[in-house]
Chains A and B, each alone.
Chain A
Amino acid sequence: MSTATTHAAEHPAEHYPGGLMRWLTTTNHKDIGTMYLTFSLIMFFVGGLMILAVRAELFQPGLQLMRPEFFNQLIGVHALVMIFAALMPAATGFANWMLPLMIGAPDMALPRLNNWGFWLLPPAAILLTLPFTLALFGIGDGALATGWTFYAPLSVQGGMGVDFAILAVHILGISSIMGSINIIVTIFNMRAPGMTMMKLPLFAWGWLITAFLLIATLPVLAGAVTMLLTDRHFGTHFFDAAGGGDPILFQHLFWFFGHPEVYILLLPVWGLMPHVLSTFSRKPAYGYTAQVYSFIAIGLLSVVVWAHHFFTAGMPIPALVYFMFSTMAISIPLAVLFFCWIATMWKGAMTFETPMLFAVGFIVLFGIAGLTGLILADVAADAQYHHSYFVVAHFHYALFAGGIMGVMTGVYYWLPKWTGHMYSEKLGKLHFWLTVFSFNLTFIPQFFLGLAGMPRRIPDYALQFAEFNAISTLGAFVLGLSQLLFAWNIWCCVRGGPKVESRVWEGAEGLEWELSSPPPHHSWETQPTIK
């Protein structure tokens, strides 16, 4: 194995500040990864509390706990928090922690940018939730009440919560763009000698496509909310029909970002899956090349299908047909991924440690998300299901079972590597089974509610929906409470536990398992060579 010296090796006696200053000023990819993941876990609970309040209101028909305005604020901020402050930072945290270890780099390419990228997040999260607190003191009328989509003209007329959310989205966007640039530069320029693009770990490939999607679409969202801001305060009429603008234009701009965003949230998880499946099936991942090209195909397709989010807004039939078929075409590369995951397990010596349980659960539940998505992609069927609870159930199968459970897979898979300790398998398995059970208890009834015609984003409902809503609320509370096990398990694992070897899992392959657990402060001071 030949070696390459790095700058880190030249300063063996570096001094690190302790306490808070360490975290404020750190440029170490592992510290920053830890901060991203911690922030993500905290915001996961913040967003979760919001939606538990919503589910409590929906437990029974009628208005019991809150005014409809407050309900509207909760659902919108729940979505923004979960998407921008929980899921995206979790994926960025994974990238920070694991990419340098996996590709044999000493650190991320742009460490200082990395630090800025993280420290933009807490102010943005505060901006997003501050209007709730301000309203308690009689300032303003609460947070953004338009739902996370900011649809004009409602958002043009909304209170100051909209301005806070616009600013928060700008800051979150800048943070994500910084993270993406860092990741692309790291993957392109910092790979160990001999690691060609087609030897790159699939997790890195998934993140590479994600980073490019972020760079291509987040500025469009930034542009759209900027137009919204100037419409609100500077007399422009981008979305104001009275001034010759068009509210539907906002929907086009928003979903031009919004649909790729779904893949931005999911691609890192899809990249992670083959690693976990191959480890616990004790077989190499099946169809590496096919998976890489599927990632690329999905990335390209995702930017040309956006209008399926508003089929009912009024479009010429040729446009409807185009968006229907292009949307359905995404199922082809996605099916390739599914078959690769299944083929990886096929004839494998499978063992079911917690990460593997989450991975298999992910495949089953995310499959349901994909299949119900095909129903919604059908223009004729969508006319009935649009804006109903069917949509809510569908995208929670995609973003909770696909996104969050995928992130949990990664956390259980890599936690021993990060901490050097084994978490409690018993608690992990209990967490998995409680999560899967209560998740389905929450969202299967919502499919039926949607089919029966219950509209989303309404704090009250007709009596006929009462039973299913009660079941769904029950499931949501079990789901929320069982996540405390997750936090507790992580906490205990960080504090201590049985020591693990560098190759934590018997069947694990890859550079990250060559380093000690936890890895040294500077990983890969001498770059490994890939043959």
Chain B
Amino acid sequence: MAPAFSDADLARRRSAARRLGWLLGAAVLALYLIGLFIKR
């Protein structure tokens, strides 16, 4: 397949993957911390 993605595009995707990773990590950590305060 012909390279459909330019270097700039790939660089943008790299930083987007990093940002999304941190975001998801923060969300999971937040869920975990909230869970510590839920009492049944």
Which A residues have a C-beta under 8 Å from some C-beta of B?
A: 281-282, 342, 345-351, 422, 500-501, 504-506
Q: How far is the CA of A281 from the CA of B18 in the complex (A)?
A: 12
Write 27 A-B pairs (CB below 8 A) sorted by A numbering. Answer: A281-B17, A282-B10, A345-B21, A346-B17, A346-B18, A346-B21, A347-B14, A347-B17, A348-B13, A348-B14, A348-B17, A349-B5, A349-B11, A349-B13, A349-B14, A349-B17, A350-B13, A350-B17, A351-B5, A351-B13, A422-B1, A500-B1, A501-B1, A504-B1, A505-B1, A506-B1, A506-B3
Do residues B17 and A506 form an inter-chain contact, with CB atoms below 8 A?
Answer: no
Q: Summarize B's interface: helix, strand, loop or mixed.
A: helix
A500 contact set on B, CB distance < 8 A? 1
Q: Which B1-40 residues sit within 8 Å CB-CB of chain A?
A: 1, 3-5, 10-11, 13-14, 16-18, 21
Residue on A nearest B10 in the bound complex, by CB: A349
A104 to chain B, nearest CB (A): 24
Which has the most chain B C-beta neighbours within 10 Å: A347, A351, A500, A501? Answer: A347
Q: How far is the CA of A525 from the CA of B13 in the complex (A)?
A: 40
A351 contact set on B, CB distance < 8 A? 5, 13
Residue on B nearest A346 in the bound complex, by CB: B21
Which B residues have a C-beta under 8 Å from some C-beta of A?
A: 1, 3-5, 10-11, 13-14, 16-18, 21
Q: Summarize A's interface: helix, strand, loop or mixed.
A: loop
B4 to chain A, nearest CB (A): 8
B1 contact set on A, CB distance < 8 A? 422, 500-501, 504-506
Given contacts A347-B14, A422-B1, 9 further A-B contacts (CB under 8 A): A281-B17, A345-B17, A346-B17, A349-B13, A350-B16, A501-B1, A505-B1, A506-B3, A506-B4
B16 contact set on A, CB distance < 8 A? 350
A342 to chain B, nearest CB (A): 8
Do residues B14 and A506 form an inter-chain contact, with CB atoms below 8 A?
Answer: no
Q: How far is the CA of A505 from the CA of B4 in the complex (A)?
A: 10
Which has the most chain A C-beta neighbours within 10 Å: B1, B10, B11, B13? Answer: B1
Residue on B nearest A352 in the bound complex, by CB: B13
* Nearest 4 CB-CB pairings of A with B: A349-B10, A349-B13, A349-B14, A347-B18
